[in-house]
């Protein structure tokens, strides 16, 4: 089974678990909401992942390069049990399902939210994130 088949299968499994008896939007919508509700939104999430040792991985999601994979254990470690548990409770699924789902989907969500290969301009407001370089000044 190829990587794409594995991811697609996991997404279908999680989506099915989330939708059973629920009127909530699809899993991709929940993950996007999760990103935006993180303190600092996308920028805060990226900063958290970088601070927790996933800098190279998350940078690959932002760049135009191939997305590096992340494991459920790395997601658990980087985001903490409290955030994983809160999302699992909201969706009514086990925490292991959330961790696996985030590991499969989060790279795609961050990639889609950064289509130009960079964080949006607001990234400069996140502590520890260098400001965007200024354009060169013309000399007279």
Instruction: Assign 121 a pLDDT band (cuts: 50, 70, 90).
Output: confident
What domains lie within the chain, and their CATH numbers? 3-119 (1.10.10.690)
Tokens encoding 46: 């990226």
Tokens encoding 55: 């800098």
| Neighbouring residues of 70: CB distance < 8 A, sequence distance ≥ 6 | 54, 57, 103, 106, 107
Which residue has better confidence, 123 or 52?
A: 52
How far apart are alpha carbons 8 and 2 in whole angstroms?
A: 10
pLDDT at 75 over 70: yes
Instruction: Assign 25 a pLDDT band (cuts: 50, 70, 90).
Output: low
Q: Output the pTM of the full model.
A: 0.69
- Compute the average pLDDT of residues 2-24: 46
């Amino acid at each position: 089974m190829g990587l794409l088949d594995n991811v697609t299968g996991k997404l279908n499994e999680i989506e099915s678990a989330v939708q059973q008896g629920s009127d909530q939007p699809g899993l991709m919508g929940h993950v996007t909401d999760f990103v935006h509700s993180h303190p600092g939104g996308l920028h805060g999430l990226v900063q958290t992942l970088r601070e927790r040792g996933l800098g190279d991985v998350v940078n690959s999601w932002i760049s135009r390069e191939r997305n590096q994979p992340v494991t459920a254990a790395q997601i658990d470690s980087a985001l903490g049990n409290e955030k994983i548990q809160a999302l699992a409770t909201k969706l009514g699924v086990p925490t292991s399902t959330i961790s696996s789902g985030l590991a499969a989907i989060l790279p795609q969500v961050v990639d889609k939210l950064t289509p130009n290969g960079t964080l949006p301009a607001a990234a400069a407001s996140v502590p520890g994130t260098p400001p965007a370089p200024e354009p060169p000044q013309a000399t007279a």
